[in-house]
Amino acid sequence: MSSSKPTSSKTSFIQAFKDVNHRVFGGYAELLRLPHTARYAIGSVIACMPFPMVGMTITISVQTYYGSYGLAGALTAVQAIALAILTPLLGRLVDKFGQRQVSIPTIIIWIVSAIALVTCITHRVPAWILYCIVPFLACIPPWGAMSRARWTNQLKGDSEKINRALSLSGVFDECMWVIGNPLSSILAVISGVLAFSFTGMCVVVGALMFLTELTTEPPSQTQLARAAGLTRKEYREREAAKAAAVQGGDAENAKDSIWGPGLLAVCVTWFGLGAFQSATAISIIAFAKEQDMAQFTGFVFACFSFSSLCGALVYGAKNWVIPLWKRFYFCLAVVNIGISCFVLANHLWVIMIIYLLCGVCQAPTWINGNQIMLHLVPPSRFTEGVAWMGAMNSIGASFGSAVAGQFIDRYGSHGGFMTVTVLALASLVIAFVGFRQIRSSTETPILSEVRV
């Protein structure tokens, strides 16, 4: 009798564990079992490796061969600015002409530029040549936006699965950063050639996985217009009118533009998000150096990414009944207010704990932003809309790190964290300025459910 109780308890525990596992991961497994989805979902993450790896590789390689952090920082800033400019442009072209038509020439440009840059760095050519080459390293197809466009096209009409798919994309993105940052630093220390070679291999392998999967590629505006017997301009005007009608706007006078109050509010919010988070990164590095704990900074950032990854997993596993705008503002407030508390920290481990706690809402904030975009732009322009979010985040990141750097030089890490607090709270205020537009947009039907 007594021996059967432990066995029974053990069986109950195993069954409970299986139930929890099914609830959390069962939905993701169901998505990846859909025909062809695993191939393009994983391929997009592999092809995205230049995002976490290029900046770190340039910094370490340039410092090694030229002995200048100033030059390395300037080059990475130029690449970031070029990325912010090119990403929405490439997203617009993808929506117009198709994913393969834009991605293939873009990849070729990136590979040639990477080979040219690493050759020039190893031969210590004049710095102005590096400045001419680096902008071309921003020729990276918007893989994340294209993958999300495939998910929304494939799951059209099923908002529950779309939410889970966007969460899964967030999980994959966090995995990319968790792996990419330390890997790039290790490879670049060994050899800049090795680091760029590995990154180039990832681009080629990921692109082959993604672009050779043809059945899930959403139709381009050119294809849709041709099928409707219209020019692309006429089709876009008709699409804008239908989207305006769904959102309660003036369908007669709707313009061929995705820009409206809602999209402006989201993009400005993402600018602020990028600004204070980049300021946070540089301030943490300065703080760690002041405490002679610089070797642990990578671990602190990895904790934030890991916490964000867990948040994405749990967030996507639940079928939410809370309105999207409420979830968006709650997650945004947790991240902004949590990070603004860094100014009160007196030890690096305190920062790590705060990062772990508020990082849970980091990926859900991005997931909510992607979902809001489904309400703001027509499906055939979703890639462009998401690309604009990423571009504004990158521009904000350049601004935030530049401002924080000035205060750190003058007042140390405390000055940097004061900057972070101001930027984080200002970003939250800016987000609430667009409250009416974001709330009203999320109360309209998802535009991907509208036949255009």
Query: Residue 267's pLDDT band (boundaries 50, 70, 90)?
Result: confident
pTM for this entry: 0.69
* Distance between first and last Cα of the chain: 67
Burial class from Cβ neighbours inside 10 Å (0-12, 13-18, 19+) for residue 66 reads middle
Q: What is the pLDDT of residue 97?
A: 87
CA nearest to 167, candidates 303, 370, 305: 370
Q: What is the pLDDT of residue 192?
A: 67
CA nearest to 183, candidates 289, 293, 324, 56: 56
Query: For residues 299 and 3, which has the higher predicted lDDT (pLDDT)?
Result: 299
Q: What is the pLDDT of residue 253?
A: 46
pLDDT, average across residues 424-439: 84
Contact yes or no for 413/286 (Cβ under 8 A): yes
Residue 215 has pLDDT above 80, yes or no: yes
Q: Which two tokens stand for residue 248?
A: 């309660």
Contact yes or no for 389/148 (Cβ under 8 A): no
Q: What is the pLDDT of residue 452?
A: 33
Q: What is the pLDDT of residue 208?
A: 92
Query: Residue 184's pLDDT band (boundaries 50, 70, 90)?
Result: low
pLDDT, average across residues 116-139: 89
Contact yes or no for 224/451 (Cβ under 8 A): no
Residue 156 has pLDDT above 70, yes or no: yes
Residue 355 has pLDDT above 60, yes or no: yes
Lowest mean pLDDT of 2-16, 134-148, 149-163, 215-229, name the range: 2-16
Q: What is the pLDDT of residue 49?
A: 80
Q: What is the pLDDT of residue 158?
A: 73
Q: How far is CA 358 from CA 44, 166, 310, 338, 362, in A?
A: 27, 20, 12, 6, 7
Q: What is the pLDDT of residue 451?
A: 38
pLDDT, average across residues 175-180: 71
Q: What is the 3-state secondary structure (H, E, C) of the chain?
A: CCCHHHHHHHHHHHHHHHHHHHHHHHHHHHHHCCCCHHHHHHHHHHHCCHHHHHHHHHHHHHHHHHCCHHHHHHHHHHHHHHHHHHHHHHHHHHHHHCHHHHHHHHHHHHHHHHHHHHHHHHCCCCHHHHHHHHHHHHCCCCHHHHHHHHHHHHCCCCHHHHHHHHHHHHHHHHHHHHHHHHHHHHHHHHCHHHHHHHHHHHHHHHHHHHHCCCCCCCCCHHHHHHHHCCCHHHHHHHHHHHHHHHCCCCCCCCCCCCCCHHHHHHHHHHHHHHHHHHHHHHHHHHHHHHCCCHHHHHHHHHHHHHHHHHHHHHHHHCCCCCCHHHHHHHHHHHHHHHHHHHHHCCCHHHHHHHHHHHHHHHHHHHHHHHHHHHHHCCHHHHHHHHHHHHHHHHHHHHHHHHHHHHHHHHHCHHHHHHHHHHHHHHHHHHHHHCHHHHHHHHCCCCHHHCCC
Residue 260 has pLDDT above 80, yes or no: no
| pLDDT per residue as tens digits for the range 14-64 | 665 555 555 656 667 778 888 888 888 888 888 888 776 777 677 677 777
- Rounded distance between C-alpha atoms, residue 133 and residue 137, angstroms: 7
Query: Residue 449's pLDDT band (boundaries 50, 70, 90)?
Result: very low
Q: What is the pLDDT of residue 247?
A: 55
Residue 109 has pLDDT above 90, yes or no: yes
Query: Residue 4's pLDDT band (boundaries 50, 70, 90)?
Result: low
Lowest mean pLDDT of 197-201, 242-246, 441-445, name the range: 242-246
For the chain, give the mean pLDDT.
78
pLDDT, average across residues 276-288: 79
Query: For residues 335 and 403, which has the higher predicted lDDT (pLDDT)?
Result: 335
Query: For residues 270 and 247, which has the higher predicted lDDT (pLDDT)?
Result: 270
pLDDT, average across residues 185-192: 69
Q: Please name each of the domains of the chain with its CATH number.
A: 25-218 (1.20.1250.20), 258-443 (1.20.1250.20)
Query: Residue 225's pLDDT band (boundaries 50, 70, 90)?
Result: confident
Q: What percent of the chain has pLDDT over 70?
A: 82
Q: What is the pLDDT of residue 104?
A: 92
